[in-house]
Amino acid sequence: MSVILKDQLPGLDFQLSENQIMIADMIRRYGEEKIKPIVMKYDESQEFPIHIFKELGEMGLMGVLVPEEYGGSGFGYFEYVTAISELAKICGSIGLSMAAHNSLCTGHILKFANEEQKKKYLPKLATAEWIGAWGLTEANTGSDAGNMSTTAVEDGDHYVLNGAKNFITHGKSGNVAVVIARTGKPRERNNATAFIVERGTPGFKAGKKEDKLGMRASETTEMIFEDCRVHKSHIIGQVGEGFKQALGVLDGGRISIAALGLGIAKGAFEASLKYAKERHQFDRPLTDFQAISFKLADMAMEIEAGEMLTFKAAHLINTKQSVNEAGAIAKLFTSEAAVRIANEAVQIHGGYGYIKDFPVEKYYRDAKLCTIGEGTSEIQKLVIARSILK
């Protein structure tokens, strides 16, 4: 089992860099002015606030990891984690959509596409001229992705895609999607291939939009393929490499969700601390009561631990070390901690925690997704167990 060792984490500095401080300050200012006033409006309407993401693109936040030569910010995972967590402190939905755009569609192309594909798509994605989607999950194959039903059959210079993907972030509004489809027999090795599919391609359309518990301003829909012809030039990598590529994308994606959970947890904690200081019972602030102060202490401890785990994973991926186990640990701990912290935040607020006039009920609803998206908590335990039992 991995532990924090000097040879594994040489020179890891726990001080925020100038870039991290700049990003955090920029997001806080923008969030106060542009996001906070509309958080509940879009949560209730479940409308995807695409204008927000266009503005985040102008700020360089939709291509955080993309090199400058492709129009991105050229930052690393420390800056990326900082950006996601700061956005999620304000609104989990905004943090989720920003993370999904960066780590999934854009991340897949960045990691595995050829130079021609990178030059064509990354500048548009990094600036949010185009919004990206990523399609792996299906209705009957969530964690069991090797048994997917969506197929791609070779036909001359094209592949013909048929099937449907569900629970897809930006499945309707996305301008381009990376889609993993089965090109071999079910369950055989190397049976899936990744394709870049642009919106407007005949046979590619959006399906049902999901009505969700939380993350309601982050669009989640089906993507449907009916005799959708995709040219071979849109294959990412080689035929049969799709699932292997997807696992590589998800390694980084776990860090995204860890950062998302971290931000939600921080938002819930800060709201609770403020409320507990201001709220009086029996002529004393709630912070004077041990039952409340101990809850706050536990919340602070879990946030600190989650932050350490998340930045450890970020350091490993920055330095091109294996992040499979560390990312799973960070994602598992921080997502589950976010649920616990949001739950305690509601409890500290009492009846006010259950109404929409206070922010913690939204943190409570949003947090749960972190334990499910990009690999459930149970899958993370499977990844960790396999790693430590090698």
Residues noted as catalytic? 374
Element (H, E) at 176: strand 176-182
DSSP 141: B
Is 53 in contact with 98 (CB distance < 8 Å)? Answer: yes
Tokens found for residue 63: 């291509």
Whether the CB-CB separation of 176 and 197 falls below 8 Å is answered with yes
CA–CA distances in Å: residue 110 to residues 117, 125, 174, 326: 9, 11, 17, 22
Instruction: Kindly state the tokens that stand for 88.
Output: 């999620």
Q: How far apart are CA 95 and CA 39, in angstroms?
A: 12
Over the range 194-208, which residues count as b (16 or more CB within 10 Å of their CB) and which as e?
bbbbebebeebbbee
Q: Is 63 exposed, middle or buried (0-12, 13-18, 19+ CB in 10 A)?
A: buried
- Residue 380: both structure tokens together: 């993370």
Q: Which residue shows structure tokens 């970020």?
A: 314
Hey, what are 43's tokens? 């949560």
Choose among 338, 345, 341: nearest CA to 361: 345
Going by C-alpha positions, the residue among 322, 320, 268 that lies closest to residue 296 is 268
| Pairwise CA distance, residues 338 & 302, whole Å | 9
**β pairing state of 132-135 and 235-236:** unpaired
d(CA 137, CA 82): 27
DSSP string for 146-183: GG---EEEEETTEEEEEEEEEEEETTTT-SEEEEEEE-
Q: Which helix (H) or strand (E) holds 42?
A: helix 39-45
- 248-267 core/surface letters (b: 16 or more CB in 10 A; e: else): bbbbbbbbbbbbbbbbbbbb
